[in-house]
Amino acid sequence: MKRTVKIGGVSVGGGNPVAVQTMAKAAATDIKAIIEQAAAAKEAGCDIFRVAVPDMSAAAALREIRRNIDMPLVADIHFDYKLAIAAAKNRADKVRINPGNIKKAGLKELTAALKDLRVPVRVGVNGGSLEKSYKNSSDRASALASSAMDAIRLMEDLGFYDIVASLKSSSAAETVAAYRQIDKLCQYPLHIGVTEAGTPERGIIKSAAALGSLLLDGIGDTVRISLAADPTAEVKAARELLRAVGLDKSFVEVIACPRCGRCGYDVGGLAQKVEDYTRNVKKPLKIAVMGCVVNGSGEAGACDLGIAFGGDKAVVFKDGSVLKTVGADDAEGCLFEEIKKLLL
């Protein structure tokens, strides 16, 4: 288990639930836009919100932003460690720095300031901005991990341990290999992500493959799915990923068969209706919508509620037992009647 690091009111690592992050797409100085994006992200299930801080006016805006969002605020810093110090002074709950573009002397001064201000840091290495000494390494995963460990050791030498680490690559394989390495090398919480994953259509699949692999192996304490899309799209995808790998159980999971030649009923349409109807329910429930007897009774019987079609009939299961058998025409009505009871 990783060390616990407190980012404002959210604890990460130490067995805490995996936190979902996203990042504002607006400039920090456009405070109104930032607050709107944060509110929408929070509504979608975001736990931690990050803002780019490219200059001192952005750093100054953090104080006002902080007062108006109800999530921990992370300042994203590149190139200039003084911006990170200014962000920490302006109430950022964490600063993210990139060891690929901040010199050692600056890192030392920043570490002393963060220790003093009691603000945690994310050492965020990125494949697109690796430090020069690692840039041309043929083993990119090791280079990512080594770059982060260099910065972490520098901070530890100064007695600072409020650290989160991340090693992002735009390659799924490289991302997984890098995180597996650093997971063995340090006890700090890991923020996981695939960088520049792309459009939602492809970026979600690439991120789910890499981050799903890590999460299923217990690696990852906070997660971001970086998409060329709105922050809410990133948050929704990350939430679905946590659900998919069993780390977020507070929702209605719909187990639905893909349908084959055994079933003439539109089970996909029914499954979609059940999913839409239960989308905002935060209870840990499972509902199966199955087309035939092959896996129907097995899956439906293992769920809180289930329906399995067969010929012109459908069998409704509840808590592992057959509740009733109805005609296929009455199946949808009967299923929703039971769903309503279940959600009471």
Residue 172 binds a second copy (CB under 8 A): yes
Q: Hunting for tokens 């945690």 — which residue is that? A: 120
Find the shortest distance in angstroms from Cβ 122 to a second copy.
Answer: 15
Nearest CA to 295 among 281, 305, 310? Answer: 310
Work out which of 5, 23, 143, 190 binds a second copy, going by CB under 8 A.
23
Nearer to a second copy, 30 or 109 (CB): 30
Find the shortest distance in angstroms from Cβ 116 to a second copy.
Answer: 27
Distance CA 151, CA 123 (A): 7
Distance CA 241, CA 176 (A): 16
Nearer to a second copy, 160 or 208 (CB): 208
Which tokens go with 79?
A: 């190139």
Residue 17 binds a second copy (CB under 8 A): no
Find the shortest distance in angstroms from Cβ 172 to a second copy.
Answer: 5
Residues of span 38-97 touching a second copy by CB under 8 A: 50-54, 58, 76, 78
Work out which of 4, 39, 170, 334 binds a second copy, going by CB under 8 A.
170
What Rg value do the Cα atoms of the chain yield, rounded?
23
Nearest CA to 3 among 126, 129, 155? Answer: 155
Distance CA 209, CA 172 (A): 7
Instruction: Determine how many CB atoms are found less than 10 A away from the CB of residue 53.
Output: 28
Binding residues for a second copy, how many (CB under 8 A)?
Answer: 87
Find the shortest distance in angstroms from Cβ 215 to a second copy.
Answer: 7
Residue 290 binds a second copy (CB under 8 A): yes
Residue 203 binds a second copy (CB under 8 A): yes
| CA 202, 208, 209, 210 torsion-angle sign | positive
Containing H/E element for 94? strand 94-97
Find the shortest distance in angstroms from Cβ 115 to a second copy.
Answer: 26
**Cβ neighbourhood burial of 262 (10 Å; 0-12, 13-18, 19+):** middle
Q: What is the DSSP letter of 54?
A: -
Work out which of 158, 294, 326, 328 binds a second copy, going by CB under 8 A.
294
Residue 330 binds a second copy (CB under 8 A): no
Non-local (6+) Cβ contacts of 118 within 8 A are 162
Residue 133 binds a second copy (CB under 8 A): no
Residues of span 212-251 touching a second copy by CB under 8 A: 212-213, 215-217, 226-229, 234, 237, 240-241, 243-246
Residues of span 245-284 touching a second copy by CB under 8 A: 245-246, 253-262, 264, 267-268, 271-272, 275
Distance CA 305, CA 299 (A): 10
Find the shortest distance in angstroms from Cβ 308 to a second copy.
Answer: 10
